[in-house]
Chains A and B, each alone.
Chain A
Amino acid sequence: MRSVDLEESSVRELNGELHRLTPETNETRWVIEHPQGKHAIACGLDAPVTVEVKGHVGYYCAGMNKHATIVIDGNAGVGVAENMISGEVRVKGDASQAAGATGVGGLLVIEGNASARCGISMKGIDIVVKGSIGPMSAFMAQAGTLVVFGDAGEALGDSIYEARLFVRGSVASLGADCIEKPLSDEDKVILLRVLDRAGLSAGSDGFRLYGSARKLYHFHVDNVDAY
């Protein structure tokens, strides 16, 4: 196990070391001490290693992740796990705004709450939030799955293209072109698969599905006068 203390080395040094890891590396377990809310910790990883961060992190932690598993034992600042390609990011506390933004793949699990714009412009990532999410979440979501055990804030799924949004609690309001949809067997399988990956034994009971009405992203001739 490699231990790195961010009171002693810089984030740049840490990330440099992590970037040099190859797929065959034997240094597969890293522990980061004293993150103290610093930004861009463990960004741009491209190796199947596990990085555990002991404490609260700042902005963009675990951004652009590929293959790695990153566990944050605390809260995460703005843009945690943004633009993830693959791998897994787990936040044991709360996440700030734009968690999992633009993610293409991989799994983001937030054990606490996520604030505004969770999953904004998600493009295939799976996001599981055990608490609640803030307003304008899944804005312009394109693909992937957002699973929320708690409540969703205002304007959920505004201008959504595709992506499945499963919410077990209340939804303050739906954004433009986002509607509730019947939960088909296929949807249930997708939901259970994501829950299983996240290590959660919950069933699909109580979840409601929201998605795109598909009226916004095709041009409708009735609207021609508006242009």
Chain B
Amino acid sequence: MCGIVGLFLKNPGLHPELGFHLAAMLGVMSDRGPDSAGFAVYGSSQADHVKLTLRAASAVEIREAVATTLGKAGAGDLDAVFHDTHAVVSVPLAREQEVRLLIARDGRVTLVGVGARMELFKEVGLPEQVAKRFELSGMSGTHGIGHTRMATESAVTTRGAHPFSTGKDQCLVHNGSLSNHCGVRRFLSREGLTFETDNDSEVAAGFLTWRMQQGASLEQALTDSLADLDGFFTFVVGTESGFAVLRDPISCKPAVMAETDDYVAFGSEYRALAVLPNAGKARVFEPVPARVYAWELR
């Protein structure tokens, strides 16, 4: 089944509350996906720096790994913020490749996401607990997306949880299943993309990354996916400055949106939107199948 949520704040006054609202929405969607959860938050950025979100098996291990791996290489001066099993390390752009190499050599650590603003967290467990462990409700930002997973075709693992990120500041959550993901993955691999899992949703994220690498806008990339991705899907996608939603042409998976002067919100069900401020007064609508809905930060 799975539940997906997204929140794009138009009112900067609400930025400090992004995580609080996203956590509430994820909690409500636990019924749709109780086995694992994940989310991405677009927070602050630092000039000429990139944020690497890293994950290890435990909260102790991630601290050790960051301290030893980066410390030994003389990179111990880098700012790292720890959230349970994850760490967000801020790296000067000039040293990004060096740090990535160090991480790749440390078998304990997985690189979950990279971006100027994006931080990405996912774990196995009840969504409400996952949000709590990562202290989501204290995070601020402009927009965020989240996912609650009920695995139907692959194992319940952290790697299989959403969001999937295949490009800098790009991530995707998916409700549904793709039927041609193997073929698309082979094509994208030839184009130079790499994939961490056998998951169909990661292929969808990769497809959008590939199109945007070629110069397409987020909106255009999603429009192109209608021709090349086959199956059931509702996608919610984040980029550094964008937020978008797309449903497959027969709207197989549920979707509902609410828009006010302050925000645009997405939920698999209205229940997830009912927890937002002034939800009762929002314009509530169901995204039309095969139509791309996109918003950009001004």
Contacts and interface: CB of A to CB of B under 8 A. Distances in A.
B285 interface: yes
B274 interface: yes
A97 B254 contact: yes
A109 to B, nearest CB: 19
Residues of B contacting A: mostly: loop
A97 B251 contact: yes
A39 B269 CA distance: 10
A77 B269 contact: yes
B286 interface: yes
Contact of B269 (A58, A115, A136): A58
A187 to B, nearest CB: 30
A136 B250 contact: yes
A78 B251 contact: no
A115 B251 contact: yes
Given A55-B280, A134-B251, A136-B250, A37 B286 contact: no
A36 B250 contact: no
B285 A116 contact: no
Interface residues of B, number: 16
Given A37-B270, A59-B269, A78 B254 contact: yes
A119 to B, nearest CB: 16
Given A96-B256, A134-B251, A75 B284 contact: yes
Interface string B269-298: 111111000001000111011000000000
A94 interface: yes
Nearest to A114: B286
B14 to A, nearest CB: 21
Contact of B251 (A37, A56, A116): A116
B274 A56 contact: yes
A135 interface: yes
B270 A75 contact: yes
A204 B134 CA distance: 60
Contacts of A136: 250
Interface in A6-46: 36-39
Contacts of A55: 280
Contacts of A93: 284
Interface in A125-160: 134-136
A56 B286 CA distance: 13
A59 B267 CA distance: 14
B270 A56 contact: yes
B271 A36 contact: yes
A135 B284 CA distance: 19
A96 B274 contact: no
A96 B271 contact: no
Q: Which of A36, A38, A97 has the most CB of B within 10 A?
A: A36
A75 B280 CA distance: 11
Contacts of A96: 254, 256, 286
B286 A94 contact: yes
A58 B286 contact: no
Contacts of A134: 251, 288-289
Contacts of A36: 271, 274
A76 to B, nearest CB: 9
Contacts of A37: 269-274
Contact of A116 (B250, B271, B272, B273): B250
Contacts of B288: 134
Q: Which of B272, B273, B284 has the most CB of A within 10 A?
A: B284
A77 B289 contact: no
B270 A58 contact: yes
A176 to B, nearest CB: 15
Nearest to B271: A37
Interface in B239-255: 250-251, 254
A8 to B, nearest CB: 16
Nearest to A34: B274
Given A94-B285, A116-B289, A58 B254 contact: no
Nearest to A93: B284
A177 B196 CA distance: 47
Contacts of B289: 116, 134-135
Q: Which of B256, B270, B272, B280 has the most CB of A within 10 A?
A: B270
Nearest to B285: A94
Q: Which of B250, B286, B288 has the most CB of A within 10 A?
A: B286
Interface in A32-85: 36-39, 55-56, 58-59, 75, 77-78
Given A37-B272, A58-B271, A77-B254, 18 more contacts: A37-B269, A37-B270, A37-B274, A55-B280, A56-B270, A56-B274, A77-B270, A93-B284, A94-B285, A94-B286, A96-B256, A97-B251, A97-B254, A97-B286, A115-B286, A116-B289, A134-B288, A135-B251
9 contacts: A38-B271, A58-B271, A59-B269, A75-B284, A96-B254, A97-B286, A115-B251, A116-B250, A134-B251
The 5 lowest CB-CB distance pairs between A and B, nearest first, are A37-B270, A37-B271, A36-B274, A37-B274, A115-B286
